[in-house]
Amino acid sequence: MISAQTIVNQLIHQNAPYSPKTEGTAFAPVNIALIKYWGKRNNALNLPVTDSLSIGLRTLGTTTSIRLHQGQDIIYLNNERLPFDHPFAQRTSRYLDLFRRQPNDGFMVMTKNDVPTGAGLASSASGYAALVLALNDLFQWQLDKTQLSILARIGSGSACRSLWDGLVHWHAGQQDDGLDSYATPLVYQLPTLRIGLLTLSNKTKPVSSRIGMQQTVHGLSLYPAWKTMVDTHLTQITQAFEKQDINGIGKISEHNALAMHATMLSASPALCYFLPETLATLQTLWSAREAGLNCWATLDAGPNVKLLFEAETAHDVKKLFPDINIIQPFVS
Ligand code: 2P0
């Protein structure tokens, strides 16, 4: 099995001049998948079973700065210094191990999320994308976006999609080394699309996506049907993008998200990220839709709900869900 270190060494030429700056900084947007990534063919390299497709939230994301220093890593999350054994610090340091020249090389990382960490609002995606961009800035690697997408994916799968605003397609690839598994931006613009974030819980989810995916893929579950469905949804959603059909996009996205949760429920032991509030929100939405509201839901590995709708519907959606945070992913 090819290791993450081998891939990193291949991408960052070890003989390249070593001239780090004092500090590297970067911002990367959160991305919300319309066609979800759920299930890996290689856990060490975060190689997915299927393609996926996302939209960047442009103004919401992670800002990270990084410096070199001697000794143990120092990690700040949202202005708070984390203890060395904090799971976030441990995972970040394990990833940074891939980029140390000497074992004693430490990093000081300061990272700030605009969304709650680990609550299914894709903070690990913007987090690892911002970290890779900040490392690229610090070390002046001058890697291209494909190479950066591969490095971000090794940190967290969905991070490979957070290097762009707008619509982004992650190609699953087929190679064992994953050098064909990266994201590319799509040309379609949807200036009237709005995404509404309904934060129902800020708590860190009890089962990480990482473990949840393994639980769903292995053993008897509906997972084989999920793979076929993703192919169909990718074809359908591309046609909807071409027609700028936001209701079509919403309908396919909601179907895809609920199908992903159905595969989780079909695993043994079953996995359920919904809270009672999640179901109540969906039922409110479905009733409103029956009454004529054009609005659709998508959900990730957590209890929070994201809504997709046209700008002209924003007023009605806000009336139904007063706490909603409405984002305009494309500049008009
Ligand atoms: C997605 N999710 O496509 C899907 C939908 C959650 C549900 O990508 O193990 O944090 O780091 O590769 O990227 C969450 O998975 O998992 C995710 P790892 P990641 O957005």
CATH classification at residue 313: 3.30.70.890
In this structure, the answer to whether residues 171 and 307 fall within a common structural domain is no
Question: What is the chain's alpha carbon radius of gyration, rounded to the nearest angstrom?
Answer: 20
Give pLDDT tens digits for 115-132. Answer: 765 545 667 899 999 999
Could you tell me what percent of the chain has a pLDDT over 70? 97
In this structure, the answer to whether residues 175 and 197 fall within a common structural domain is no
Closest atom of ligand 1 to CA, residue 156 = 11
pLDDT of residue 285: 98
pLDDT of residue 138: 97
Q: Give dist(CA 323, CA 274) in Å, integer.
A: 19
pLDDT of residue 209: 85
Domain carrying residue 275 = 193-327
CATH classification at residue 12: 3.30.230.10
Helix or strand (DSSP H, E) at 327 = strand 325-327
Ligand 1 contacts (CB < 6 A) are 33, 36-38, 46, 52, 122, 124-125, 156-158, 209-210, 300-301
Q: Which residues pair with 52 in a beta bridge?
A: 170
Residue 206 located in a structural domain: yes
Which of 132, 165, 185 terminates a domain? The answer is: 185
Ligand 1 midpoint to CA 289 (Å): 28
In this structure, the answer to whether residues 118 and 174 fall within a common structural domain is yes
pTM of the model: 0.96
* Structure letter (DSSP) for residue 82: P
Could you tell me what percent of the chain has a pLDDT over 90? 85
| pLDDT > 80? residue 210 | yes
pLDDT of residue 119: 47
Q: pLDDT class for 109, splitting at 50, 70, 90?
A: very high
| pLDDT > 90? residue 202 | no
Q: pLDDT class for 17, splitting at 50, 70, 90?
A: confident
Ligand 1 midpoint to CA 38 (Å): 7
Q: At 95, list the tokens.
A: 């990833």
In this structure, the answer to whether residues 296 and 205 fall within a common structural domain is yes
In this structure, the answer to whether residues 133 and 10 fall within a common structural domain is yes
pLDDT of residue 219: 80
Residue 179 located in a structural domain: yes
Q: Give dist(CA 229, CA 236) in Å, integer.
A: 10
Q: What is the mean pLDDT of the chain?
A: 94
| pLDDT > 90? residue 278 | yes
Residue whose CA lies nearest to ligand 1 atom number 15: 209
- How many distinct structural domains can be found in the chain? 2
**What sign does the CA torsion over 258, 201, 90, 138 have?**
positive
Helix or strand (DSSP H, E) at 151 = helix 145-155
Give pLDDT tens digits for 220-245. Answer: 889 999 999 999 999 999 999 999 99
In this structure, the answer to whether residues 112 and 54 fall within a common structural domain is yes
